[in-house]
Amino acid sequence: MQQQGGTMRNSPSYGSSGGHSRHFDTILSPLVKTGAGASNRSYAFFSFFLFLLLGVFLTTRLLLDPSVLIAKETALVTETLKAGESPKYPQSTKLITEKPKEFKLNCPAFSDNATATCPRDNYPTSLLPGSREADSGRSPPATCPDYFRWIHEDLRPWEKTGITREALERANATANFRLAIIDGRIYVEKLREAFQTRDVFTIWGFVQLLRRYPGKIPDLELMFDCVDWPVVKAAAFGGFEQLTPPPLFRYCGNNETLDIVFPDWSYWGWAEVNIKPWESLLKELKEGNQRSKWVDREPYAYWKGNPTVADTRLDLMKCNVSEGHDWKARLYQQDWARESKEGYKQSDLASQCHHRYKIYIEGSAWSVSEKYILACDSVTLLVNPHYYDFFTRGMLPGQHYWPVKEDDKCRSIKFAVDWGNQHKLKAQDIGKKASEFVQQELKMDYVYDYMYHLLTQYSKLLRFKPEIPKNSTELCSETMACPRDGNERKFMMESLVTHPAETGPCTMPPPYDPASFFSVLKRRQSTARRIEQWESKYWRKHNQTRS
Ligand SMILES: *[C@@H]1O[C@H](CO)[C@@H](O)[C@H](O)[C@H]1NC(C)=O
Ligand SMILES: *[C@@H]1O[C@H](CO)[C@@H](O)[C@H](O)[C@H]1NC(C)=O
Ligand SMILES: *[C@@H]1O[C@H](CO)[C@@H](O)[C@H](O)[C@H]1NC(C)=O
Ligand SMILES: *[C@@H]1O[C@H](CO)[C@@H](O)[C@H](O)[C@H]1NC(C)=O
Ligand SMILES: *[C@@H]1O[C@H](CO)[C@@H](O)[C@H](O)[C@H]1NC(C)=O
Ligand SMILES: *[C@@H]1O[C@H](CO)[C@@H](O)[C@H](O)[C@H]1NC(C)=O
């Protein structure tokens, strides 16, 4: 029973029957039916023979030419999107072209005043009149990207029981801070030190969310853990004692944990390594893509990072080009100390789209670099990940990325690069889909909307009245940004929300029904499996010609 809780982690609790795998047999099944349905015996024999021939032909073709199936997958996905009700990315139809009034920070009043407190009455407390939200006659806002549906799954452990204060308090075992939102103000109780400025920029994100949607974020209390690895083990809950898991927010999860995933600090900037807030970086990455055409880029798989943080990364280093081998990988070690001295000229993310393929590999857990790699319209070669963050569950193999085996990286990378160089249009398409996904579905507007919906749903589960924590401090943009300097100050000013949103948040999609949930999982699995099959076939052939 205990194991059950662990294995069913992200699945809705419908049981595991149903769902069918779309494999070669289902693709060929219409032909089978035609053959068996013929009444004449010899005709039946003839068509069976024809079917065999066709089957052989199709199978060989499918196996040899992956692009056929990829195209099929893509078409299927596009169809389901079209069937959806509301437009995915509607153009802003706002008639008002007037620029909204901006509310900047008045830092001089704060800089040398240790007793300064958060100002009142210097910022609107509700959405502006004339905004789409306030003006209810307008067309409804767009439906949020599909990955928002995982909010329902992440909160499912508390669906029946709700969240009691007792459950929340148990999350203090590892949390770095407790955050309360009461009447649109933020109070933070620091519980333990966090690494670098992770906690600071995460809290800054909450503060900006409140500036974006003033008057719309409900009262709540939550616990936040800034450490990389998820800790709330699903297997420890759901047993006979009926203990509910502690609700604990963090940046990533895996299939054995119940931590609630939330956007990481880097969306507002990573001061220590000079990574700018996401909104400005996203523009630069778009421009970076336009600097060179995909076909003109180096036809290799590129990776740059710190290999020492995980064994799997050290293992990847063995795939680097050497005198004996060329696995088509070009791998580099990031030297943060040197680059810090040289002003990060070598680590400018926007000018790292010079290879046709870019490798993503996890570090000690998920890595913030994934979005930067996907944003490049080179093909992302994704070494099979163990962790997910809030958006990655919206991506599909063969559509947004190319899966790479974790236990056979070099061979897998070489196959991917050779495949892509032979199927340039398909490969470019995968690169483009990923960069479009990041530019559209992961733009800052949606990061805030994700936070909005997650917090709103979360607050509905609370079975106690949120209160201002005993040892907390009220935090606002002024008290956070004004006393700082350097990158911290710069990135806060850059990511400051200067006026309330002009439109309401996107509409939350409903939970997955069992059928569509399993079809998403199956689609992901079957594409990945098929790519694996091509890969073994490729290597079998390669091995034969060598021996
Ligand atoms: C969870 O992931 C691990 C490795 O990441 C895998 O071995 C295991 O089978 C997965 N469990 C489930 C229930 O999917
Ligand atoms: C410092 O802040 C307090 C509280 O906000 C305010 O009353 C006081 O006038 C400020 N002092 C100066 C020198 O700005
Ligand atoms: C966490 O809460 C438990 C139960 O309320 C309490 O016993 C414990 O002292 C708390 N731990 C910390 C670090 O605050
Ligand atoms: C990988 O090989 C290239 C080319 O020989 C070299 O410049 C680079 O330093 C190597 N990377 C690592 C991490 O050793
Ligand atoms: C408040 O903080 C102090 C010192 O940091 C600590 O000793 C005390 O236990 C805290 N009180 C509560 C209610 O957490
Ligand atoms: C090809 O040969 C290598 C060893 O040379 C082996 O590890 C690999 O499994 C072989 N692949 C296939 C598909 O036979």
Q: Are residues 397 and 296 in the same domain?
A: yes
Q: Are residues 289 and 434 in the same domain?
A: yes
CB neighbour burial string for 39-76, b if at least 16 within 10 angstroms, e if fewer: eeeeeeeebbeebeeebeebeeebbeebeebbeebbee
Q: Are residues 380 and 482 in the same domain?
A: no
Quote the pLDDT of residue 117. Answer: 86
| CB-ligand 2 contact for 113 (6 Å cutoff) | yes
Residue of 330, 334, 338, 359 with the most ligand 4 atoms within 8 Å of its CB, for mutation: 330
Nearest-ligand number for the alpha carbon of 325: 4
Quote the pLDDT of residue 131. Answer: 58
Place of tokens 């080179």: 378
CATH number at residue 296: 3.40.50.2000
Kindly give the distance from the C-alpha atom of residue 538 to the centroid of ligand 6, in angstroms, as a whole number. Answer: 10
On the question of pLDDT at 374 being above 90, the answer is: yes
Q: Which of 15-29, 149-163, 238-252, 398-412 has the lowest mean pLDDT?
A: 15-29
Mean pLDDT of 390-400: 94
Kindly give the distance from the C-alpha atom of residue 107 to the centroid of ligand 2, in angstroms, as a whole number. Answer: 12
Quote the pLDDT of residue 127. Answer: 80
On the question of pLDDT at 99 being above 90, the answer is: no
Joined together, the tokens standing for residue 272 give 């220590």
CB-count burial class (<10 Å; 0-12, 13-18, 19+) for 139:
exposed
Joined together, the tokens standing for residue 41 give 């015996």
On the question of pLDDT at 363 being above 80, the answer is: yes
Quote the pLDDT of residue 115. Answer: 73
Residue 498 maps to a domain: yes
Residue 124 maps to a domain: no
Mean pLDDT of 472-500: 94
Q: Are residues 474 and 430 in the same domain?
A: no
Residue 199 maps to a domain: yes
- Supply the angle between the helices 41-64 and 24-37 in degrees, to the nearest 10: 160
Q: What is the mean pLDDT of the chain?
A: 81
Q: Are residues 251 and 164 in the same domain?
A: yes
Residue 173 maps to a domain: yes
Q: Are residues 312 and 432 in the same domain?
A: yes
CA dihedral 129, 130, 131, 136 (to 10 degrees): 100
| CB-ligand 2 contact for 116 (6 Å cutoff) | yes
Q: Are residues 331 and 240 in the same domain?
A: no
Q: Which residues line ligand 1 (CB under 6 A)?
A: 7, 255, 386
Count the domains in the chain: 2
Place of tokens 């070099």: 410
On the question of pLDDT at 441 being above 70, the answer is: yes
Mean pLDDT of 249-258: 96
Quote the pLDDT of residue 96. Answer: 52
Residue 364 maps to a domain: yes
Kindly give the distance from the C-alpha atom of residue 256 to the centroid of ligand 1, in angstroms, as a whole number. Answer: 8
User: Of ligand 1's atoms, which has the minimum distance to the CA of residue 256?
Assistant: 1
Q: What is the DSSP track for 330-365?
A: EEEE--HHHHHHTTTGGG-GGG---EEEEEE--SSS
pLDDT band, residue 420 (cuts 50/70/90): very high
Q: Are residues 352 and 406 in the same domain?
A: yes
Q: Are residues 432 and 462 in the same domain?
A: no
- How far is it, in rounded angstroms, from Cα 330 to Cα 312? 16
Q: Are residues 437 and 455 in the same domain?
A: no
Q: Which residues does residue 190 pair with via DSSP β-bridges, in sequence order?
A: 177
Residue 53 maps to a domain: no
- How far is it, in rounded angstroms, from Cα 251 to Cα 131? 32
pLDDT digits (tens, 9 = 90+) for 115-159: 778 988 889 988 866 555 544 445 567 899 999 999 999 999 999
**CA 81 to each of CA 77, 146, 362, 520: distance values in angstroms, whole numbers, following the listed order:** 6, 10, 30, 13
Nearest-ligand number for the alpha carbon of 168: 3
Q: Are residues 307 and 235 in the same domain?
A: no
Residue percentage of the chain with pLDDT more than 70:
76
- Supply the angle between the helices 409-422 and 424-436 in degrees, to the nearest 10: 110
Q: Are residues 426 and 453 in the same domain?
A: no
Residue 518 maps to a domain: no
Residue 488 maps to a domain: yes
pLDDT digits (tens, 9 = 90+) for 3-12: 333 322 222 2
Its domain, for residue 196, covers 148-264+443-504
